[in-house]
Amino acid sequence: MKPCKGFTLLEMVIAIAIFAVIATVSYASLGQFLDTYEYLTQRGEKTKGLQQTFAMLAQDFHYSADRSVRDGYGDREPAMVAGTQTFAETGELVRLTVSGPDLQVPTASRLTRVAWRLDQGRLYRVTWAVLDRAQDSRSYSRLILEGVAGLEFKFLTVDGNKQVQSAYEWTGNEGRPGAVEALLTLSNSRQYRWLLEVGNG
């Protein structure tokens, strides 16, 4: 019987070198895969956030109701108002009354006062539990999107000559706009422009 031959030193060196090359390539490929996965995950989350923002804005304006409210001091507040100096100081971009389903009475609708507010790059949707508020009425803020540089609304109407008119401020004295154009600017300077239908309320 012939004795078994072991690996020579040269063969072991070559095998180790080949293994090292394979390990290096595999590690680089794994790192590239993880980087790609992280990028796609972050991009997917951003896309999801943008889709959610558009869907909620579209829903609020589509189901907006022609119902004015009283603020915490008893003063009348129009059903839809935006772009005024008072709101600019608080970071609020628009306030409107929104009609939605009543969870307690499925066949009925419930009116809710809603505001959209931008604070340090974060876009919030604010709601109040009551329409006609007192000074101690609580509001509830929900974070919708981060990394926002600006959100601008342009209110569109059609005049008697069937010409489209636009305004960046809406006091509520003009009735109701036919549509609203929203321009969302992200912190990376990317912009998204949406045309939002306004319901008959």
> pLDDT, tens digit, for every residue of 165-201?
899 999 887 778 999 999 999 999 999 999 999 987 6
Domain of residue 97: give its range: 59-197
Termini Cα distance of the chain? 98
Residue 128 domain-assigned?
Answer: yes
Confidence of residue 42 (pLDDT cuts 50, 70, 90): low
Angle at 28 between CA 27 and CA 29, to 5 degrees: 90
Residue 42 domain-assigned?
Answer: no
Residue 92, domain CATH: 3.10.610.10
**CA gap 65, 199 in Å, rounded:** 8
Residue 187 domain-assigned?
Answer: yes
pTM of the model: 0.74
- When divided into structural domains, the chain yields a total of 1
